[in-house]
């Protein structure tokens, strides 16, 4: 019941925000009229080469065109006028997502339960989000709020997906899915804020080519997740070096993880940057380690503090296509885990 109430409040905020009001006009803040489609694939075979733990993630998302945050509408009042700047974004977008994550123990060839390793689990979800950006004033920011609703367990089709893919690539078939978590509806609310810091630094060794112009920025972030799937507090930062950095806030990632932005707004036909980032999370709940919420299931003792280190490259081509590769190193997530995890993330985005 409490999760339904929280979800209702969050959804209400998303749609009420469309009616918020400010005195800004489109001439003062240029708006991006394109929607963006993102296709995200994460897999441990692109990182460590092993097939274990967080073994695969797929996520599709669509972000709407950019709109002014309209503060002269539904909630115009003296109280609203008193809101501080850090609560008043200039523009916003709505996002829609569909995804699936798959988790397995280290040895997928064993049929019997492996008690000292993490459970088999699948997570199939859909969701809606709200992305708000502050562009004016002295301290820009990006707010992201997203609600995911789905199912953990056999109904998430983790076994079918992994088995089918392994048959296609002639890889060993997973044998232990009979030990996976039980079916359970899942709800999680994610919130994140980013503050880009862009010092006045620019170096162009070949002035005749815009793509050789080198800039840098530094973006701290903080956020949380709340739900029966994940509950955690996170803080991190990203350093980027390249050109046309206001193009985006870094490449998107499957959560939990240090994510960038699903949208990008290139100013040139070709742009690029390299990046590195770290994020630490204080974990309150992780159903894929803690096990089912309402009934007995296999579980392991999770570690409270988990960290990610990520590095990667982003290229924007022809003004409408973004390709990103991220390599992620994740610290041990549970007691008895033999090695830290490593996986790769590939994102392809295009403007619609």
Are 226 and 234 within 8 A, CB to CB?
no
Question: Which among 259, 248, 243 has a CA at the least distance from the CA of 310?
Answer: 259
pLDDT of residue 14: 40
Q: What is the DSSP letter of 115?
A: T
Are 305 and 282 within 8 A, CB to CB?
yes
Listed as ranges, residues in the chain with pLDDT below 70 are: 1-28, 48, 70-83
Q: What is the pLDDT of residues 250-264, one digit of tens each?
A: 999 999 998 999 999
Cα 157 to the center of its chain, rounded Å: 22
**64, burial (CB in 10 Å: exposed 0-12, middle 13-18, buried 19+):** middle
pLDDT of residue 276: 97
* Phi and psi angles of residue 300, each rounded to the nearest 5 degrees, phi first: -130, 165
pLDDT of residue 191: 97
Q: What is the pLDDT of residues 130-150, one digit of tens each?
A: 999 998 877 899 999 999 999
**What architecture does CATH give domain 2-351?**
Beta Barrel (2.40)
pLDDT of residue 10: 42
User: Per residue, what are the HEC states of 223-281?
Assistant: EEEEECCEEEEEEEEEEEEECCHHHCCCCCCCCCCCCCCCCCCCCCCCEEEEEEEEEEE
Q: What is the pLDDT of residues 297-331, one digit of tens each?
A: 999 999 999 999 999 999 999 989 999 999 999 99
């Amino acid at each position: 019941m409490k999760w339904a109430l929280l979800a209702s409040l969050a959804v209400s905020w998303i749609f009420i925000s469309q009616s918020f009001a400010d005195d800004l006009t489109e001439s003062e803040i240029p708006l991006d009229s394109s929607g963006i489609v993102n296709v995200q694939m994460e897999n441990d075979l692109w990182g460590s080469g092993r097939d274990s733990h967080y073994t695969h993630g797929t996520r599709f998302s669509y972000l709407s065109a950019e709109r002014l945050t309209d503060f002269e509408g539904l909630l115009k009042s003296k109280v609203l006028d008193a809101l501080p700047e850090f609560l008043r974004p200039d523009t916003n977008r709505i996002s829609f997502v569909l995804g699936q994550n798959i988790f397995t123990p280290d040895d997928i060839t064993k049929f019997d339960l492996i008690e000292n390793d993490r459970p088999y689990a699948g997570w199939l979800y859909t969701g809606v989000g709200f992305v708000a950006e502050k562009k004016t004033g002295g301290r820009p920011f990006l707010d992201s709020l997203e609600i995911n609703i789905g199912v953990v367990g056999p109904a998430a089709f983790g076994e079918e997906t992994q088995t089918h893919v392994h048959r296609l690539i002639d890889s060993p078939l997973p044998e232990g899915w009979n030990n996976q978590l039980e079916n359970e509806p899942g709800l999680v609310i994610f919130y994140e804020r980013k503050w880009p810091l862009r010092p006045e630094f620019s170096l162009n060794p070949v002035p005749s080519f815009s793509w050789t112009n080198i800039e840098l920025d530094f973006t701290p972030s903080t956020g949380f997740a709340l739900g029966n799937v994940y509950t955690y507090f996170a803080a991190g930062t990203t350093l980027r070096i390249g050109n046309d950095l206001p193009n985006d806030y870094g490449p998107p990632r499957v959560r939990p993880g240090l994510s960038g932005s699903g949208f990008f707004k290139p100013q040139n036909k070709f742009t690029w940057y390299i990046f590195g980032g770290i994020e630490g999370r204080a974990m309150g709940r992780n159903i894929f380690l803690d096990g089912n919420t309402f009934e007995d299931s296999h579980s392991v003792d999770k570690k409270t503090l988990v960290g990610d280190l990520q590095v990667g490259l982003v290229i924007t081509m022809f003004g409408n296509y973004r390709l990103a590769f991220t390599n992620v190193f994740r610290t041990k997530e549970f007691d008895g885990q033999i090695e830290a995890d490593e996986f790769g993330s590939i994102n392809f985005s295009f403007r619609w």
